[in-house]
Structure 1
Amino acid sequence: MHVFTFKQLHSATGGFSKSNVVGHGGFGLVYRGLLNNGRKVAIKFIDNAGNQGEEEFKMEVELLSRLRSPYLLSLLGYCSDNSHKLLVYEYMPNGCLQQHLYPINS
């Protein structure tokens, strides 16, 4: 499990630019990012990080890192920098599952 700095993830997402938002959920926004090694990632910025303690967050990371399924994205790493808590996943280039299950008809 890779531990990222907030600065690395800030840089990878272009300063958490709105143009890099690829999704959102109950816990925050998901950004497309490009790491220094050229790997594309999805970075979930957890909004309510202040409500979750450091130990609880690390336990969540530990559990997510153990999950292996062809139906789930792999957790690559995380960042826990003061009040900032982020999860770094492999990037899924064809959109999220919700977009495929419930397409918006134009």
Structure 2
Amino acid sequence: MFDPNEESIVLEMVRSFFDIPNDEMMKIGDTTKTLLFDPNITSEEEAVGRLKDALSSMPQEHALIAGVFMSGLLRCNLAQQIQQQYMQAKEKEEDLGT
């Protein structure tokens, strides 16, 4: 699993493969994040539908950047969740031992 710094390096490498300027990469990331976390979206299905529509209208290179961005976002969020679950399990174990 990548840490956030490694994920950023991978994203930068993919960006450079396709000669996508940094500001364009930031727009892709912002668009992706907005589509995923828009407070006006009422369901997960709606978010997925909007994301699919947006990806289908993007050039393939931009869609790939969006995918790498989402992968990094998931990894970072999952790493935090795993760490929290580990700490909770450790606390329960300590409580049972006393």
> Normalising to structure 1: TM-score of the pair?
0.30
> Normalising to structure 2: TM-score of the pair?
0.32
Per residue, is there more helix in 1 or in 2?
A: 2
Per residue, is there more strand in 1 or in 2?
A: 1
